[in-house]
Chain A
Amino acid sequence: MAESRPRVGLFVTCLVDLIRPSVGFAAVKLLEQAGCDVSVPRAQTCCGQPAYNSGDRADTKAIAEQVIAAFAGYDYVVAPSGSCASMIKKHYPGLFADDPPLRAKAEELAARTHELVSFLADVRGVEAVESSFSGAVTYHDSCSGLRELGVEAQPRKLLDSVPGVEIREMEESNVCCGFGGTFCVKYPDISNKMVTNKAGFIAASGADTLLAGDLGCLMNMAGKLQRQGVPVKARHVAEVLADMADRPAIGEPGQAGDPAGGAG
């Protein structure tokens, strides 16, 4: 009997939606290759972290309720971001401690929610992806994905399966890049010190491409590398895994082309 295709609701994340939709299409392609039917609920905006981390509980809860409703009924919810996936998985249930019915819904959603690469490797058992790439990459472990969801070996394993990828680990790959959501604009000088350190380690790795699983961190690091004139390209790891690394890298000039199509 053929295995039924699980229904996956893609949590696009606000940054991918607005800044780099090609990452969303890379995620769709990878999920489809892993045997999933992908839908994109229209009633999603953001996971609510800007409000949550600013102490604004009321707006956080309203946004969480919106996400809970929008993603009801899918077998899985997958986000191309450890940070947003962790917000839903680890933090939503605690928002409704005093509201048992909503708490139950939040817990049920949390159980179905995954970060993209760990979903592919751990839930769908993907061992190798259909892609090819030419170059040396270094992988930055974004904080929430690493420490709240245990995303560490999975992206490296899948990258290893891509012909032409050479992984060059940077020093302190598991140390924060200084993005931190609103932190980088609330404390710009400290954030700058952190991303300067990070850019130094990236450059020292000798890699020509920086990969990570979170667009916020990537924009921060890419922006710093470019300001410093360091010729390292930055991409979401999904772009390489989905064989969609042919469009301009983050912050690189040129026609975006068609974020949805191309090599797919």
Chain B
Amino acid sequence: MLQSSSPAFKENARAALADQTLQKALGNVKAGFIGKRAKARARLPEFEDLRDAARDIKNHTLANLDFYLERYEEKVLASGGQVHWAATAEEARNAILTICRDAGAKVVTKGKSMISEEIGLNAHLEEAGLDVVETDLGEYIIQLRHETPSHIIAPAVHLTKDQVEADFRHHHDELPADRSLVEPEQLVAEARQMLRHRYLEADVGITGANFLVAETGTSIIVTNEGNGDLTQCLPKVHIVIASLEKVVPNLEDATTILRVLARSATGQELSAYTTFSTGPRRPEDLDGPEQYHVILLDNGRSQMLGGEFQDMLRCIRCGACMNHCPVYHAVGGHAYGWVYPGPMGAVLTPSLIGVDEAGHLPNASTFCGRCESVCPMRIPLPRMMRHWREREFERHLSPKAVRFGLAFWAFFARRPALYHRLLGLKMRVLGALGRAQGRFNALPFAGGWTKHRDFPAPQGKTFQQLWAERQKGGAGS
């Protein structure tokens, strides 16, 4: 699997906050997604009902996952395709490499797939001597830069337009120096021109899947650039890589969820392309691949079934949670240190790589709840982050200072009489000390606070003291 730098989340975050170019690029997340989603939602009166319906479809599917997966496999086989079950990232990588080798492949094109990032597919194929070409514009850009995606639907959102232009000028040898690359459309055209002949050279095309339809054995992808279609139709072998929970019972269910997917993601009613693939090309088909393979990846997901993190398996990877997350806006996706950033990553990553490794992620949230309020699948993200904190606390993984401070505080919070006596005295002292300034510039044990902001001085006596005085005989009036 992809190596994680999640334990260094704090350091990653600090570096991200100090990176002015990154901060400028992150402004695009707010500007590009939030208003568009709000408008799309407002235009569809039944949007909230659709969220309920989408949640119920996935809950039903997850409760009967074995049934629908077996049904799906049957239908894929019946349509002439092959299914490869992969329990781990390694099994998935090896299955894909074997298919590529059997096909005598030299060039492999790829549509956007977060699962391929999760299993570290590109590096594996490249080590085996294959030429791997990302065809999604964002993925293509970060491949040039040897980076990983910083967002699940906008992989290069951490980059400014100027950075992309510079990368193209550096890597595209035949690009005339006087060709303008100022407008986003010009960047797209430039990438498209570079990619066009690669599609034709490719022996194998690999895509992800937004849905696997049990009723028909169909895989569905949604894209806006049409690169997925070229990736999967032109080469003689098409490999779909998808995790188990992508399955839905039937086409009706898939379309219900499609109605909330693009609206939540980009604010579109539907993405420009919604492509359905069922098996390899049939004799009467004009085009299509000769082989159709599906890699069904588990990689820890079946462990989530039946537990407190099962709801996370409803996720359809729309990105709305991170688009609306103030922590993501502040630090960007790379700070999270693994494949999945933002709130969905804060819940999913500990499930997949362990909370020992990814413990910071569910802690780095104010529980502001904005993610849950926009999640089309109504995943209770803050609640599940809290569950991870509980696991960490139970296993004594939380930092010692936090545990000590908490135990000290709880001792008094559980003893009201003692609490009021002690803090009543302390507040009077603090109040007297702070009265002239009204606030403190620095306070012992509150460095994290006073490094960045003043701490208001207490008014003096506590409410409980004043209330008791007032009850005793109007000392307060």
**A57 at interface by CB-CB < 8 Å:** yes
**A237 at interface by CB-CB < 8 Å:** no
Determine the chain B residues whose CB is within 8 A of the CB of A223 once the complex forms.
Answer: 439, 449, 453-456
**B14 at interface by CB-CB < 8 Å:** yes
Q: Which residue of A lies closest to B383 (CB)?
A: A94
The CA-CA distance from A256 to B428 in the complex, in Å, is 12
Known: A44-B416, A147-B370, A185-B446. A250 touches B398 (CB 8 A): no
Kindly count the residue-residue contacts between A and B in the assembled complex, taking CB atoms under 8 Å apart: 224
Q: Which residue of B lies closest to A217 (CB)?
A: B366
**A180 at interface by CB-CB < 8 Å:** yes
Do A224 and B453 touch (CB < 8 A)? yes
Known: A53-B367, A175-B326, A190-B17. A17 touches B462 (CB 8 A): yes
Q: Which residue of A lies closest to B452 (CB)?
A: A192
Do B414 and A59 touch (CB < 8 A)? yes
Do A55 and B453 touch (CB < 8 A)? no
Determine the chain B residues whose CB is within 8 A of the CB of A62 once the complex forms.
Answer: 410, 414
Q: How far is the CB of A145 from chain B (nearest CB, A)?
A: 11
Do B330 and A256 touch (CB < 8 A)? no
Q: How far is the CB of B14 from chain A (nearest CB, A)?
A: 5
Known: A148-B369, A175-B326. A189 touches B413 (CB 8 A): no
List CB contacts (< 8 Å) of B307-340 with chain A.
Answer: 326-327, 330-331
The CA-CA distance from A42 to B420 in the complex, in Å, is 9
Q: How far is the CB of B124 from chain A (nearest CB, A)?
A: 34
Binds A, one of B202-210, B213-221, B464-472: B464-472
The CA-CA distance from A194 to B327 in the complex, in Å, is 8
Contact of A45 among B390, B412, B451, B454 (CB under 8 A): B412
List CB contacts (< 8 Å) of B433-477 with chain A.
Answer: 435-439, 446, 448-449, 451-464, 466-470, 476-477
Binds B, one of A20-28, A103-111, A112-120, A127-135: A20-28
**A78 at interface by CB-CB < 8 Å:** no
Determine the chain B residues whose CB is within 8 A of the CB of A188 once the complex forms.
Answer: 448-449, 451-452
List CB contacts (< 8 Å) of A190-220 with chain B.
Answer: 190-195, 197, 219-220
List CB contacts (< 8 Å) of B324-372 with chain A.
Answer: 326-327, 330-331, 363-370, 372
Contact of A57 among B388, B390, B477 (CB under 8 A): B390
Contact of B448 among A43, A50, A186 (CB under 8 A): A186
Do B458 and A20 touch (CB < 8 A)? yes
**B304 at interface by CB-CB < 8 Å:** no
Do A176 and B326 touch (CB < 8 A)? yes
Do A59 and B413 touch (CB < 8 A)? yes
Q: How far is the CB of B304 from chain A (nearest CB, A)?
A: 19
Known: A52-B386, A261-B476. A18 touches B416 (CB 8 A): no
**B259 at interface by CB-CB < 8 Å:** no
List CB contacts (< 8 Å) of B145-177 with chain A.
Answer: none
Determine the chain B residues whose CB is within 8 A of the CB of A42 once the complex forms.
Answer: 416-417, 420, 464, 468
Determine the chain B residues whose CB is within 8 A of the CB of A190 once the complex forms.
Answer: 13, 17, 327, 330-331, 364
**A248 at interface by CB-CB < 8 Å:** yes
Q: Which residue of B lies closest to A198 (CB)?
A: B326
Do A251 and B439 touch (CB < 8 A)? yes
The CA-CA distance from A260 to B416 in the complex, in Å, is 22
**A144 at interface by CB-CB < 8 Å:** yes
Contact of A21 among B13, B416, B436, B462 (CB under 8 A): B462
Interface string of B1-33 (1 = CB under 8 A from A): 000000000100110010000000000000000
Contact of B389 among A55, A178, A252 (CB under 8 A): A55
Known: A12-B464, A176-B366, A194-B326. A253 touches B448 (CB 8 A): no
Do B459 and A182 touch (CB < 8 A)? no
Interface centre among B367, B412, B416, B477 (most CB of A within 10 A): B367
**A4 at interface by CB-CB < 8 Å:** no
Do B449 and A21 touch (CB < 8 A)? no
**B427 at interface by CB-CB < 8 Å:** yes
Q: How far is the CB of A213 from chain B (nearest CB, A)?
A: 15
Contact of B476 among A180, A253, A260 (CB under 8 A): A260
Do B386 and A53 touch (CB < 8 A)? yes
Given contacts A186-B402, A188-B452, A259-B461, 15 further A-B contacts (CB under 8 A): A19-B458, A19-B459, A46-B413, A50-B413, A54-B406, A59-B406, A176-B326, A185-B446, A186-B364, A194-B330, A223-B454, A224-B453, A248-B438, A251-B457, A253-B436
Please report A residues at the B interface, Cβ cutoff 8 Å: 12, 14, 16-22, 24-25, 40, 42-46, 48, 50-57, 59, 62-63, 66, 70, 143-144, 147-148, 175-176, 178-195, 197, 219-220, 222-224, 226-227, 248, 250-256, 258-261, 264
Q: What are 22 contact pairs spanning A and B, CB under 8 A?
A: A17-B423, A40-B464, A42-B417, A43-B416, A50-B409, A53-B386, A54-B402, A55-B389, A55-B393, A59-B413, A63-B410, A175-B370, A181-B367, A183-B364, A184-B448, A189-B452, A190-B327, A195-B452, A224-B453, A259-B459, A260-B477, A264-B477
Please report B residues at the A interface, Cβ cutoff 8 Å: 10, 13-14, 17, 326-327, 330-331, 363-370, 372-373, 386, 388-394, 398, 402, 406, 409-410, 412-414, 416-417, 419-420, 423, 427, 431, 435-439, 446, 448-449, 451-464, 466-470, 476-477
